[in-house]
Amino acid sequence: MVELVRTEIDILSAVSKVGDPSAGAIDVFIGTTRNTHKGRGVELLEYESYESMALKVMEKIVDEARRTWNLKGVAVVHRLGKVRVGEASVVIAVSAMHRAEAFEGCRFLIDQLKKEVPIWKKEYFTDGHVEWSGSDVAIG
Q: What percent of the chain has pLDDT over 70?
A: 95
Query: What was the pLDDT predicted at 139?
Result: 44
Question: Nearest-CA neighbor of 23 among 100, 77, 79?
Answer: 100
Query: What was the pLDDT predicted at 133?
Result: 78
* Neighbour tally for 17: CB within 10 Å: 16
Mean pLDDT of 117-130: 94
Cα 127 from Cα 40, distance rounded (Å) = 8
Sketch out the chain's domains with CATH numbers. 2-7+20-128 (3.90.1170.40)
pLDDT band at 138 (very low <50, low <70, confident <90, very high): very low
SS3 per-residue string spanning 45-65: EEEEECHHHHHHHHHHHHHHH
pLDDT band at 58 (very low <50, low <70, confident <90, very high): very high
